[in-house]
Structure 1
Amino acid sequence: MGLSRLTPAQWLVAILAVVAIVLSVWRLEADRAGLVIGPLPGPTPATVYRPANGVPAPVVIISHGFAGSRQLMESFSLTLARAGYAAVAFDYEGHGRNRMPMSGDLDRIEGTTQLLKAETRRVTDAALAQPWAEGRVAILGHSMASDIVIRQALADPRIEATVAVSMFSEAVTPDSPRNLLIVAGAWESFLAREALRVLRLSDPEADMGQTIGDPAQGTGRRAVLAPNVEHVGVLYAPTTMRETRAWLDAAFGRESAGPVADRGGWIALLLVGIVALAWPLARLGGKSRAARPATLSRGRFLCVALVPAVAVPLMLWPFDTRFLPVLVADYLALHFALYGALALGLLVWWGEVRRPGRDEALRILGLAGLVAFFGIGVFGMAMDRYVSSFFPTPERLVLIAAMAAGAVPFMLSDSLMVEGGRAPLWRGVLARGAFLGSLGLAVALDFERLFFLLIILPVVLVFFLLFGTVGGWVGRASGRPAAVGLGLGLFLAWALGVTFPLFQAT
C-alpha cells in the first residue's frame, strides 16, 4: 500500500502540512465573514467588498501595481470593508482577468498613464452609480498605480483622499492632491526617501509619522514606514492597514476599531504547507527502479552551467525579439529556449542523455503531468484565491504556449544537470545562480528594452527556491530527472504566462 512507504518523518510532515493548510484556509476565509463580496458592473473586472448591513458607504477605489491584480490588494479590501467602507478593487488593462491589453507609450505621461487614468475613472463612475455608494470617494494605489491614483486625484475633484503605497510620482505639489497618505516599506530605501521628500514639500521640517495639515479640511498629508517589509510585504503589513484605515476615517469624519486583515503570515503558512506536502506525496509512488543518471564530471558541469549563461545574452543582444503582445516575455521565452538548447546540446554531445524506451517514456510523461498538476492545480489554486491572478484569460494561452516552448527545454536541462536533485547542493545553487546572472547580463546589455525583466526576476527566484526543492524531492524519489524537468517547465511557463502584463503598442 502506498501509505506504508512513508517514513515516520514523512508522516509527521504530511500531518503538519495538512494542519497548516486547513488552519490557514480557515483563517483566511474568516476575514470574509459578514461581508458582501461580488462583481462591479462594467467592462473592467472589479470586485466589491462591503458590509452586509446595506447602509450606503463611502467608496474606496483600490488599484494594484505592475504585474499585479486585485487579489494582491485584498488585505486593503477586507480591512476597509470591515471598517464600513465599500472597497472596489479592479484589474488594470493587461493584468489579471482584464482581457484588454495595455497600450500607449509607456515612456510618456501622455501615453499609457492617460489610458490607465481613464480606466480608473470608469471604475469610479461605475462604483458611485451603485445604491450602496453614499457619494464620497477615496482612491488607493500601489507602486505603478501610486502615480496613476495621484494624477487621477488631481484630475477628479470628487476624490477626497488618496493613499499611495510604495509611491513614486512627480505630480505631487505642496498642496495637491487632497489628504495624501504615503506608506513605504522600511526596506524600500529609495521609496522611503521619496516619501519623506514629498512630505517636506508641504513642511520642510516635517518627519516620518507626522501629520501635516488637517484631513477634515482636505489639507492633510502624512508619510509613514511599515517596519520590516519590502515592496510586496508592505501590502500585508498591519501598519499599512491601520494607517490606511485611520487616514480615511480622519478624512471622512468616521471612527473604526477592531483588528485589521493581517493575512501575510497565513498566506505564507498556506503556501509552505502545500510545498511541504510534496515531500511525502513524492514518496507514495514507491522507490524507482529507474537507473540513476550518471554524474557529470566537474569540468563538464561547469561548462554546461556557465557557457549558456554568458553566450545566450550575447547571442540575442543584436536582435529585435519582440514578437508577442506582452512586455519582455518574448525575450524571456527566447532566452529560456536558447539556454536550454545549448545546455541540452552539450549533454547530448557528451552522451549524458539517453533515449528512454517506450514504457519508460510513458512513466516520465505521467510523472511530469503529476508534477505540473500539483504546481498549476494545487499551488495555483491557492495563489489565485489569496495572492494574485493565476488562472488565465483565453488571450494568455498563446503566451503560456510560447513560454512553454522555452521553459520546458530550460528546466529539462536544469534537472538533468542536477540529476533530479541528487547532485551536490552547490551544483544546484550554481546552475540556478548562473541563469539569474544571465538574465542580469541581458538587462545590462539593453537596459531600456529589458528593464521590466528586473520585476520578473523575483518570480523566477521564488520558483527556484520553492519548486526547485519540490523537484529535488520528486527526482530523488523517482529517479527520473527528465520527468521533473518537463513538469516544472510547464508549471514555470504557466506562472510566467499569467504574470506578465499583456501589451499591445498603438
Structure 2
Amino acid sequence: MTTASRATGWHLGRWRLIDRLIAGTALILMLIGLSWLIGADRGLSKTRIRVGQTPVTVSMQAETEQAPVVVIAHGFSGSRQMMASFARTLARNGYVAVNLDFPGHGANPRPLEGEIGEQRRTRILLDALAAVVDHASTLPQYDGRLALLGHSMAGDIAVRYADRSPAAEPKASADEPRQPAAPRLDPAADLDALVAVSPYLSEELGAHRPGRTPDNLLFIYGAWEPRMILEQGRAAVAAVANLPSDAIQPSVTYGDHGDGSARRLVIADHVEHIGVLYSARALRAALDWLDQVFERESSGWVDARGAWLGLYFLGAILLAWPLTRLLPRISSEPLGADLGGRRLALAALLPALLTPLILWPLPTDFLAIAIADYIALHFLVYAALTALMLALIRRQPSNPPSSAQTAGPPMGRGGAIGRGSASVSASAFGVAVLAVIAYQALIIALPIDLYVAAFLPDPHRFGTLLVLSVATLAWFIADEWLTRGRGAFIGRYALTKVLFLLSLILAVVLNLEELFFLVIIIPAILILFVVFGLFSGWIYRRTGHPLVAALANALFLATAIAVSFPIAD
C-alpha cells in the first residue's frame, strides 16, 4: 500500500474501547435531549404563515377553541426561535402564542431601516408588530383577550404600542418624510397585559395612565443584567406604588389588576440578558402573571429546554472526539508554523493591538447587515497582519526548519500538498473537510436553528455570508497555521483566541457608539472558540493538517455572524 493510499484510509480499526464507550455515551445524551425537545411539541399545533413580509408562527394546543392570544416579540438580533421557550410554555398552558420575526431579523427579508433611536426605525417595528396583532385578533381561537410579551428591544416597542394617544406617534424629521402610522387596536381589542422581559425603555413610564401606559405590566430581568436596565423596571413599578425605587420588593404586585394599574418586578437568579429567556423562574413568572390577569388556571407546565439542549450539545461535542479518529491521515508530518512560545506570542500580540487601531478611522458601511462589515474587516486585517508577522519571523535567523515549517501548504506533484519529506494527500484533505463540515451542519447547526435561534441563512443573507466566509477563512487559516507544528507550545490556541477577543473589545472601546452591539456577540464567539478549540485539536492530531479545522470553523462562524445581526438599510 502506498503512502497516499494509507493516508486516505478511514482506519475503522483504530477505534479503541474508550472511543466506543465515549461514542455510545454521547449518542445516549443526544437522544435523551432530542427526545425531550421533540416530545415537548407533542399535542401542539404550529402554523407558519406570513403577515405581509413578516414570518409568523402560531402555536396552540390542538384542541384549543377559544383562548387569550399572546403576541411574542424578540429583541435586537433575535428571532422567533429565541422566544420559543415562552411560546411553548404559553401554548402548552392553553394560550394562543403568536411569534414573529421583526424586519431585518430571522427569516424576515425586509431591511430594518434607520439608526438606533431614530423614529423611522421605531415606526417600522411598530408597523410590523401592529400588523401581527391585527392578524392575531382575527384568529378563530381569539376570545377577545390579548397580551404582548417582548424581550429587550421589543419590550420598549410593546410599551410604545400600548400608548394609543396621538402624541405617541413617531414624529417625522425634516429629512425623514412622514409615513403612515402604525394601525392601532380598536377598543374591543385593547391590550389586557404586557410582559416585558429585560426591556431597555427609551423613556420613563411614570404612573399608570389608561390608554397611555400598558395595563397590567410585568417586568422580568436576569440577576446578572446591567443595573441601569434593571433600575428602569424598578422605577416603573415604584411609580404606581408611590414609593421610592429602592423600596420596591421583587415578586410583589403593586397596583390593581382590576383597573389595569398592576405592576410587578421579577428577578430571575443566575442568568443574564439572554439566559433569562431559558430561565424557569422567568417562564413561570410570565405564565402566573397572565393567569392572574385573565383569571385562568393553567397546568403550570414550563419549558425546560435549556437543560435538555445542554445535554444534547454536550453529547454532540463528546461524539466529535471518537469520530475524528475515523478521519483519514492527510500529512505524514504535522504541518504548521512550528513556533516556540516567545516568537508565537510576538506574532499573535501585534495583530491584536494594531487591527483596531488601523480600522478605527475607517468607514465600515459596505454590507447590508449591521456590524457585519466591521467584523469582516477586523478578520481580514487581523489575518493580513498575522501572515505578515509569520513572514517576518521566518526571515529571522533560527535553527534549520523542519519539513513542517512552511509558510503555507503549497500543492505538489501527484495531488500531494507539501514539500520536503512531508507527504500530503489532496484527496484525503477533501474527504476530511467535507466530513467535518457535514458534522457541524447536521449535528450542531440544524438543531441550533430548530431549538435555539435562527442559524441557517435565508437567501437574502447569502451575499453577506459570502463576504464573511472569505474574511473568517483568511483569519482561521492564518491562526491555525500560526498555532500548529511540532514545536508549538501548550496553550497556543487559547492564547490567540483570547487576544482576538481582547482586540474586539479594544475596537468597541475606541468606537463605542458605532460598535456597541459587538458586545452582544463577544460571549457567543467565546463559546464557539472553546468548541472550535476542542474540535480543532482533535482534528489536527488525527489528520496532521491545520487547514481542515480552519475551513470548517470559518464557515460555521461566518454563518453564525451572518444570521445574528439584522439586515439594515
TM-score norm. by structure 2 comes to: 0.85
What's 1:295 paired with?
338
Structure 1 counterpart of 2:359, from 316, 323, 333: 316
What's 1:248 paired with?
290
- Structure 1 unaligned residues grouped into runs of 5+: none
Q: Distance in 2 between matches of 1:329 and 1:268?
A: 28
1:332 aligns with 2:375: yes
Q: Distance in 2 between matches of 1:330 and 1:28?
A: 35
What's 1:166 paired with?
198
1:206 aligns with 2:271: no
Q: How does 1:264-275 map to 2 (within 5 A)?
A: 264-275=306-317
Q: How does 1:431-450 map to 2 (within 5 A)?
A: 431-450=496-515
What's 1:120 paired with?
129
Q: How does 1:18-417 map to 2 (within 5 A)?
A: 18-43=27-52, 44-108=54-118, 110-155=119-164, 156=185, 158-169=190-201, 170-175=203-208, 176-190=213-227, 191-203=229-241, 204=243, 205-286=247-328, 289-293=331-335, 295-349=338-392, 350=394, 351-357=406-412, 358-359=415-416, 360-417=425-482
Structure 1 counterpart of 2:557, from 489, 492, 499: 492
Q: 1:396 to 1:426 in 2, by over 3 A?
A: same
Residue identity over aligned pairs, in percent, reads 38
Query: Does the 8 Å CA contact 1:420/1:484 hold for their aligned counterparts?
Result: no
Q: Deviations over 1:137-171 (max 9, x none)?
A: 10001111111111112235611100001122124
Q: 1:289 to 1:410 in 2, by over 3 A?
A: closer
Q: Which amino acid aligns with 1:166?
A: S
Query: Does the 8 Å CA contact 1:151/1:171 hold for their aligned counterparts?
Result: no
Q: CA RMSD in A?
A: 1.8
Query: Does the 8 Å CA contact 1:271/1:382 hold for their aligned counterparts?
Result: no
Q: Distance in 2 between matches of 1:149 and 1:262?
A: 26
Q: Distance in 2 between matches of 1:197 and 1:356?
A: 66
The Cα shift of 1:286 comes to 4.9
Q: Distance in 2 between matches of 1:405 and 1:221?
A: 50
Query: Does the 8 Å CA contact 1:49/1:77 hold for their aligned counterparts?
Result: yes
Q: 1:149 to 1:420 in 2, by over 3 A?
A: farther
Q: Deviations over 1:389-446 (max 9, x none)?
A: 1111111000110101110010111211221899444222210011111111111111
The Cα shift of 1:226 comes to 0.8
Q: Secondary structure in 2 aligned to 1:260?
A: coil
Query: Does the 8 Å CA contact 1:127/1:133 hold for their aligned counterparts?
Result: yes
Report the number of matched residues. 503
Q: 1:151 to 1:479 in 2, by over 3 A?
A: same
Q: Which amino acid aligns with 1:142?
A: H
Q: Distance in 2 between matches of 1:45 and 1:425?
A: 48
Query: Does the 8 Å CA contact 1:312/1:338 hold for their aligned counterparts?
Result: yes
1:481 aligns with 2:539: no
- Structure 2 unaligned residues grouped into runs of 5+: 1-9, 165-184, 395-405, 417-424
Q: 1:422 to 1:48 in 2, by over 3 A?
A: farther
1:6 aligns with 2:15: yes
TM-score norm. by structure 1 comes to: 0.95
Q: Secondary structure in 1 aligned to 2:145?
A: strand
Q: Which amino acid aligns with 1:23?
A: I
The Cα shift of 1:367 comes to 2.1
Q: Deviations over 1:368-400 (max 9, x none)?
A: 232222223321101011001111111100011
Query: Does the 8 Å CA contact 2:205/2:236 hold for their aligned counterparts?
Result: yes
Query: Does the 8 Å CA contact 2:73/2:100 hold for their aligned counterparts?
Result: yes
Q: Which amino acid aligns with 2:193?
A: A
Which shows bigger deviation, 360-369 or 91-100? 360-369
Query: Does the 8 Å CA contact 2:351/2:385 hold for their aligned counterparts?
Result: yes
Q: Deviations over 1:335-382 (max 9, x none)?
A: 101111221233245254342433334433432232222223321101
